[in-house]
Amino acid sequence: MNPDDASTPSQLAAQSRVVVIGGGIAGLVAALECAKIGMRVTLVEASTRLGGTIRSAELAGVSVDVGTKCFSTRGGTVRALVDELGLSDEVETPGPRTQWVAGLPGGLVAPLPAGGVLGIPENAFAAEVLRMLGWRGAWRAYFDRVRPVLTIGTERSLGRLVRTRMGELVRDRLVAPVTRGVYAIDPDDVDVDLAAPGLNAALTRTGSLSGGVVQLGESRDDTESAIVGIRGGMTRLVDAFAARLIELGAQVQLETEATALERGVVEAAPGAGWNVHIAATTEPDEAGDNSDNNTDGAGEGATAPLEPLHADFVIVATEEGPARALLGARLRGAQVRPTTHIEVVTLVLDDAGLDSAPHGPEVFAVAGTPGATTVTHESAVWPSLAERLRAEAPHRHLVRVSFGVAGESPATAGLDDGEATALALAAASTMLGVPLASDAIVESHRERFVQARPAVAIGRRDEAAAVRAALASEPGLVAIGAWLAGSGLAQVIPDAQVQAEAVRQAALRGAEPGNQRHALSPE
């Protein structure tokens, strides 16, 4: 990039080369933002497909999501991007999403109290709360109403806040199943101000946690669903990204792994840029882990090296393991906590007993319950999915069974696919309240994930800021992705947009690659 040869922003952009490493959603967003202003974009992805945790599989003649299945409407950023990519008319609102809890004493499976926040009840003596806590637990929870507010709005940990105000049983039987099922972390590790904005302040105003929950409920807008999906599956979003990138002239190279980064002279440029060393890859065999799950940075399928890519800017958009391998000493010791291994078994079932959806459609397990963390009756959630399945058979259903939370190995670890499927079927039978026989299985699918810490985790923002601060001294280099932004499209997409905008602004100013320290400063 030579600013002396260009006088307009469009010319400067056209001379700027950016390499995006990783074709998950973060990488796709960054590549699109740079391509939209005319930058010369090359995106490399080690696997055979784009999308990262957005994955689909053909099961019993129907394409279904086996990874990310929806997105949060909070903030409107994801929805705006969906609209931009031409999928506005394909957005789907879920049906009623009653949440239940399994693993209660006596094998009880019961619905979460209505009107609560993250499982925290409004009324300790409501019938559904009494059913789950018993009189002793209910009286302890009621003590919150008369207990003085000693630490006004200062408790950061959701678990500690609930335990202190309403007791262990509320934490363990109501709140923990929700945080473990939704975020895959224990409530003690959840930042209450991020997971339930305004709850601490409402507690201060009302003098009790349950009063704060009531106040938040009164201000809550229930006219719009908190989550939405895309008819036909979330991979349609990935397809729209790919089509748009091709339209804008970006180069997308699959089965191409970035193996090293080094400062070097960029062709036809007066200053130093980046050399991105790459190698062709092959997919692991069926018995091995999906390449997207590789956490140690090693390219299992790496073959012969290819010619390095030269760039003014490099955006690292891989999972944490490969990102750390590429960035190496540039991180200057910045640490991010270990990621979580998740396994999901998707079951296509023929059973009329599921037609009435007796439990759920979303059932969380109490901590310590053997087996699954969450069972979701997906065809009871998404009307279009139910319609597609019923077109194949009148009593056909799709059930998704998730295993694993932070700090715990999935119950399926070490099991072969048949054993994992049997365990998933047993969990679905118990948690959905329908005795399901093995001959009800039409087809099944097993998927493995590495899940980054959620955005609501205590300390995650500080950890991400440390990484960004370390990279601020590296001209033209940024890192994005769920390991920094937190898991979930509503976190990953706006973070990628912010970081890509810093790259865009630097390119449009005609700044030398060596002068990006301030342009690419941490958020």
Report how far residue 311's alpha carbon sits from residue 267's, in angstroms, rounded to the nearest whole number: 9
Report how far residue 436's alpha carbon sits from residue 348's, in angstroms, rounded to the nearest whole number: 12
Report how far residue 513's alpha carbon sits from residue 270's, in angstroms, rounded to the nearest whole number: 10
**Same-fold call for 56-74+89-95+226-231+339-451 versus 113-219:** no
Domain range summary for the chain, segments of one domain joined by +: 3-53+235-337+456-515, 56-74+89-95+226-231+339-451, 113-219
For the whole model, what pTM was predicted?
0.89
CATH of domain 113-219: 1.10.3110.10
- Mention every residue, 6+ apart, whose C-beta is less than 8 A from residue 492: 25, 26, 29, 480, 481, 482, 485, 486
Report how far residue 523's alpha carbon sits from residue 519's, in angstroms, rounded to the nearest whole number: 11
The percent of the chain in helix, strand and coil, each rounded to the nearest 5, is 40, 25, 35
* Helix (H) and strand (E) counts in the chain: 17, 21
Per the rule left: phi > 0, alpha: psi between -120 and 50, beta: everything else, 93 is beta
The helix/strand/coil state of 422 is: helix
CATH topology of domain 3-53+235-337+456-515: FAD/NAD(P)-binding domain (3.50.50)
User: What is the Cα gyration radius of the chain?
Assistant: 24
Give the model's pLDDT for residue 273. 87
Tell me the pLDDT of the chain (523 aa) as tens digits.
Answer: 554 554 687 888 888 999 999 999 999 999 999 999 999 999 999 999 999 999 999 999 999 999 999 999 888 999 999 999 999 999 999 988 789 999 999 999 999 998 889 999 999 999 999 999 999 999 999 999 888 876 555 778 999 999 999 999 999 999 999 999 999 999 999 999 999 998 988 898 888 999 999 998 887 766 567 899 999 999 999 999 999 999 999 999 999 999 999 987 655 444 568 999 999 987 554 433 443 433 333 345 556 788 999 999 999 999 999 999 999 989 987 777 777 899 999 999 999 999 998 898 999 999 988 899 999 999 999 999 999 999 999 999 999 999 999 989 999 999 999 999 999 999 999 999 999 999 999 999 999 988 888 999 999 899 999 999 999 989 899 999 999 999 999 999 999 999 999 999 988 887 654 444 434 443 3
The helix/strand/coil state of 28 is: helix
CATH of domain 56-74+89-95+226-231+339-451: 3.90.660.20
Give the model's pLDDT for residue 201. 87
**CA neighbor of 179 nearest in space, from 457, 427, 400:** 457
Give the model's pLDDT for residue 56. 95
